[in-house]
Amino acid sequence: MRVFDTAAIVTGGASGLGAATALALSKAGAQVYVLDLPSAISDVSAVDGVTYVPTDVTDGSQVREAVQRASSEAPLRSVINCAGIGPSMRILGKKGGHDLDFFARVVNVNLCGTFNVMAAAAEVIAQTDPLEDGQRGVMVNTASIAAFEGQVGQAAYAASKGGVVALTLPAARDLAQYGIRVCTIAPGILETPMLATVSEEFRAGLAAGVPFPQRLGRPDEYAQLALAIIENDYLNGEVVRLDGSLRMAPR
């Protein structure tokens, strides 16, 4: 499916993987709508072809309004869910047991937020005119290799991303009758704003653990894969690891 002259939604698109994807979609001719928190959008420089819509992905009414706006001028065909958080906490640590509200917040943003956007967007995409083979659109969600090899302190994060992985196939099956494909990317260690705060020595240590290529992944490589999934009409219900064959150790 081509993205030229269509509308696309990118959540968490103010930085990192989402920003790279929004830029790639814009360059490919899509009208891109970035859904992100107001605090994140306030620091972003304008990008041609990209409209920033202050949105909390866990808020149903905000998401529905943003989806309606994104579909107002061109048919909504693509949704890329990049919004997420990655704090850590051990189930039992020096300060006591894992805080339940902390766990629930991570799951609410990473898993429920993804589902919230999917459900609202699916309702709109299902009303668009079908393309070849009856296709109407595609959704690309973001998990993590932590879904498969969560490390110490990643109980909440791994559970939330594992939920995104588990959501992929049933979502693809649910939406097949409407011509909507669903896939998920599970990134390894990519260059994100979170890693910008650590030392070069620490970054080098992370890179050394990647079999090949022995470096950190780049956001534009995530964006390239997202566009490849959108453009390949036979990719559906699949989770693709983007990790240089990295398998995470316990720590």
- Catalytic positions: 157
Structure tokens at 246: 């990295």
Per the DSSP assignment, residues forming a β-bridge with 138 are: 78, 181
Length of the chain: 251
Report the DSSP beta bridge partners of residue 120: none
Q: By CB neighbour count within 10 A (0-12 exposed, 13-18 middle, 19+ buried), where does 53 fall?
A: buried
Interior angle at CA 244, CA 242 and CA 248, nearest 5: 90
The CA distance from 48 to 44, in Å, is: 12
DSSP assignment of 173-195 equals: HHHGGGTEEEEEEEE-SB--TTG
Distance CA 178, CA 182 (A): 12
